[in-house]
Amino acid sequence: MRVLVVEDTEVLGQAICDRLTSLGHGADLVTNGEQANEILKYQTLDLIILDLNLPGMSGLQILKQLRARANETPVLILTARDQMDDRVILLDAGADDYLTKPFNFRELEARCRALLRRHHGYAANITEHGNLTIDRDARQVTVNGEIQAVTNREFCLLEVFVGHLGRVLSKDEITEHLFNYDETPGPNAIELYVGRLRKKLVKSSLSISTLRGLGYVAEIS
């Protein structure tokens, strides 16, 4: 999944990005509020991790403008404030969740999973799709109860397909979900990842069809 981390403390922001990247997500760091706001006007994302105290433009201002544009991307606020009034203001402005600094990275990961899951309409971290079961906590995939060995990036690709069942996804759209700005995947990278995932899920209820010149569509049979 594609995540934008907006955090002016570069060491912390990069640590968050590294953690998310290690899980197979595409994660980018922006340290300036105005720059982040410009990116959010045009970039499609799966999740935004947003600090409140930023140079150029505050996290709260960014959040309000994001929601004013009817952008429903989940937003996790990072804040040093822990007063009830502050939390109410953030939630009323459109924040989906918040995490008080300092925080544990495992909790950050859990909150990100929950927001991504809810954004795609799932009530639990374990979901079943025919004979295919996806456990987002354990990052485990099973077919007919048998564990399939998938890489972190393959797992994220599977989440992209399951989150857009029945919808045609172009290679560019899939690339935006999987890779960050600094990565330059080869022209055949998406084909390779899709091919590997297909082989591992060949006996599952999920089918991934190629539509020549358009992209891919995943369906549950």
DSSP string, the chain: -EEEEE-SSHHHHHHHHHHHHHTT-EEEEE--HHHHHHHHHH---SEEEEESS-SSS-HHHHHHHHHHTT----EEEEES---HHHHHHHHHTT-SEEEESS--HHHHHHHHHHHHHHHTT-SSSEEEETTEEEETTTTEEEETTEEE---HHHHHHHHHHHHTTTS-B-HHHHHHHH--TT----TTHHHHHHHHHHHHTTTSSEEEEEETTTEEEEEE-
Report CA torsion sign: 28, 30, 31, 37.
negative
Supply the pLDDT for residue 183: 78
CA–CA separation, 24 vs 188, rounded Å? 18
pLDDT of residue 82: 67
- Rounded distance between C-alpha atoms, residue 3 and residue 179, angstroms: 10
Q: What is the reported pLDDT for 83?
A: 64
**Residue ranges of the domains in the chain?**
2-119, 126-220
- Please say whether the structural domain 126-220 has been given the CATH code 1.10.10.10: yes
Topology of the domain covering 2-119: Rossmann fold (3.40.50)
Cα dihedral sign, 200-195-132-151: positive
Low-confidence spans in the chain with pLDDT less than 50: none
Q: Return the pLDDT at 221.
A: 86
Per-residue confidence (pLDDT) for residue 84, from 0 to 100:
66
Q: What is the pLDDT of residue 210?
A: 94
Burial 86-103 (b: 16+ CB within 10 A, else e): bbeebeebebbebbeeee
What's the distance, CA 67 to chain centroid?
18
